[in-house]
Amino acid sequence: MTDAKTRPTEISVEQFIESVEPPAKREDAMILDALFREVTGEQPQMWGPTMIGYGSYHYKYDSGREGVSMRTGFSPRKAKHSLYLMGRYCDEQTGKKVDALLEKMGKHKTGASCVYINKLGDIDLHVLEKIIGKCWDAMNRMYPET
């Protein structure tokens, strides 16, 4: 069994955000961090070198593979911000609700458990707040803290 490549690190979230380039991405990252903290009530932790995560959960697949991952989070990448919204991926009903909200959010692209945005100016932050909340609630329902 292979170990997960993305693990919590001791890197300071604040120092990481301060290092984000260009400055507009850094400013967006500060806003996203505040939004994720507000919605989740969690302090962030770095996962790998570039992912900022809020909360964690233990998963186990039918294959027997298991591990720990962040419940939600984001990565302020140069090209696009990657938003990790696992509740959309892990729970079909939440996924449908989130997809309906995404239609109202603004310019974005989606992957299985990610939403990609160029800059926060392209989206409605109030809609994003609702999306994060729905995904957070789904993860807490599906993977209760032990």
Q: Model confidence over 30-52: pLDDT tens digits? A: 999 999 999 999 999 999 999 99
Q: Which domains does the chain have, with CATH numbers?
A: 13-142 (3.90.1150)
% the chain with pLDDT above 70: 96
> Do 16 and 30 contact (CB within 8 A), yes or no?
no
Phi, psi of 97 (to 5 degrees): -65, -40
Per-residue DSSP letter, 125:
H
Q: What is the mean pLDDT of the chain?
A: 93
Give the per-residue pLDDT at 2: 44
Per-residue DSSP letter, 4:
P
pTM: 0.92
Q: Write the CA distances from 132 to 31, 66, 102, 115, integer angstroms.
A: 14, 24, 11, 11
52: β partners: 46, 74
